[in-house]
Chains A and B, each alone.
Chain A
Amino acid sequence: MNADDVLVFSAGALRGHRLRTGLSLLGVGIGVCAVVLLTSLGEGARRYVTAEFASLGTNLLIVLPGKTETTGMAPVIGGVPHDLTVEDAEALERQVRQIRKLAPLSVGTAAAQFGERSREITIVGTTAAMLGVRRLRLQSGQYLPEGAERDRAVCVIGAKLQSELFPSRNPLGAMLRLGDERYRIIGVMAPRGMSMGMDMDEVVHIPVVRHLRMFNRRSLFRILVDAGSHDSIEPARTAILRVLTERHDDEEDVTVLTQDAVLSAFGRILGMLTAALTGIAAISLSVAGIGIMNVMLVSVSERTREIGLLKALGASRGQVLAMFLVEAAIIATAGGVAGLGVAFVATRAFAVVYPAFPIDPPAWAVVAALGVSVSVGIVFGALPARRAARLDPVAALTRR
């Protein structure tokens, strides 16, 4: 018996029971489709978040006040973290040679008013370096000034604010009231969207010293550091910690996050998510496998007389086994391919509706889904096929 004879026979048997075949195909198809779609979503979420962080700037370190981990017994004196000040930022810039660029960051909310229009907005206090550190781009005008002029009362507004506050005129040169002070608009940011939990298009940038004064603060929210190259991230981190500990009375009361650490943490979380989704999908695949087994068992008992006949005509146990296994494998493969097709169409449709979300199904998931569905078919087809192969020909033939 050749392989193609087995195939022809099994395919013929499946064609003879269209409804049953169709339903088992559906089961496997849904299983495979679920695997591919869910892993696509998981992977897409991971890539989306990764891309989001990468857009912050690749060799970024983030310095924030306070220590995130507890360190045993509380010190007798002190214990309250020191402020992270503008002077700290300046010291870092002077003393840590791995720092290519450094931008202090202070964030607060205040009322912005232009003419009759007024609204609450997020105000960011920083320096000219922010442009490079965060890879921001200007739509028009210029960013915050450097050097001697850096504390002037000027501001740069986000793209959305421009369209909301200045729908019909060029905002450059206009005076914007922020809190109690008036700032001259010198630039408009290019649209950027959400980043670091803020809508960058609705933010006003002002010089950091003015910002701290406006909100009556001493401490910065963050210091963003561009380490220049990937290799200098760790040395920069160590140096920053050393300098700040020295400045803060030998107390290590700041935290330095590297983007790598943040990314890998998110990567781990989202990897877990993908794994969980894959697990759920795998369950649906094995349910499909049990469906195949069920259908094949029914098929074997319905075709008992046929099996008896095949044996009387000279079919060996191995041949009967092969024919039923191939039936199960055909269902699993065809169902798998159909499921892939549906999943492909669904991901295309998703990509059209949400273009920002990278939903391409990962290659491993496609290969694994197909591979698993075929092996599910064979594994769950094995029991019915063995039952068929072991049927006693006399008993099978004479059954009514």
Chain B
Amino acid sequence: MIELRGITRDFDVGGRPVHAVRGVDLTIEPGDHLSIMGPSGSGKSTLLHIIGCLDRPSAGTYRLGGQDVTHLDERALSRIRGRKIGFVFQFYHLVPRMTAAQNVELPMVFAGVERVERRQRVARALASVGLSERVAHRPDQLSGGERQRVAIARAIVLDPEVLLADEPTGNLDTTSGREVVELLEAMNAGGLTLLVVTHDPAIAMRARRQTRMVDGRLEGGSQA
């Protein structure tokens, strides 16, 4: 359950204030599938960073799973990022020197999960994205679609509350893109809350709830 109330985010760019997000109210129920569309610079990535606890709002309150996380300290925020949030990025963000399995293991290393459990969860996560055969491959030995699937496995390995996908298909060809979207939807069907930020209408339309972000304001989707 994600509850945003009056979320605002201002930046100071060269002495001039920039209002990236202006008073966003948003509730996302567990198991929901929501898309945020919008042109570049509309503030959708900033909103995603706030929801992912990578950034803090200038004003407003943010409750995640019933907990007010607006004013938590850096340490608590990093724990939430590790345990409750799964990120999938446009450029995969895999560590190039590590194998697929090691990349998937990373969040559990920071969360202090026992080694035996880590191995089991890595195997399960990679199996769930259909990459059991690629465990020992490094990113440069994987295709774009495979890399993004490794990133998805890494995002879900600790059973987060919500999966945040920022242009997950932006860097993929149509076929791989469809595979990745189908994979994300399958996970959503299994109960995982999914939030996709994209400017591709074809992807956005597939979500149960669709919203648009324009000039820092959110339109539509609030009826649900």
Contact = CB atoms under 8 A, between A and B. Distances in A.
Interface of A: 1-2, 5, 9, 12-13, 15-16, 305-306, 309-319, 393-394, 397-398
A82 to B, nearest CB: 85
A316 B110 contact: yes
Nearest to A13: B97
A312 B112 CA distance: 16
Contact of A319 (B49, B93, B97, B110): B110
A108 B55 CA distance: 92
Given A1-B110, A12-B98, A305-B93, A313 B154 contact: yes
B97 A317 contact: no
A306 B27 CA distance: 31
The 9 nearest A-B residue pairs measured at CB? A314-B82, A16-B97, A316-B78, A314-B110, A313-B107, A309-B93, A315-B110, A393-B54, A314-B81
B78 A315 contact: yes
B106 interface: yes
A397 B89 contact: yes
Given A1-B110, A9-B109, A317-B78, A312 B52 contact: yes
Chief secondary structure at chain A's binding surface:
helix
Interface string B107-118: 101111000000
Given A1-B109, A314-B110, A316-B75, 4 more contacts: A311-B54, A313-B106, A318-B75, A394-B54
A397 B110 contact: no
Nearest to B158: A314
B79 A306 contact: no
Given A312-B52, A316-B79, A397 B93 contact: yes
Contacts of B97: 12-13, 15-16
A5 B54 CA distance: 24
Interface in B15-67: 45, 49, 52, 54-55
B211 to A, nearest CB: 21
A181 to B, nearest CB: 88
B223 to A, nearest CB: 31
5 contacts: A12-B97, A310-B106, A313-B107, A314-B107, A394-B55
Contact of B54 (A15, A16, A318, A397): A397
B12 interface: no
A310 B108 CA distance: 11
A391 to B, nearest CB: 11
B212 interface: no
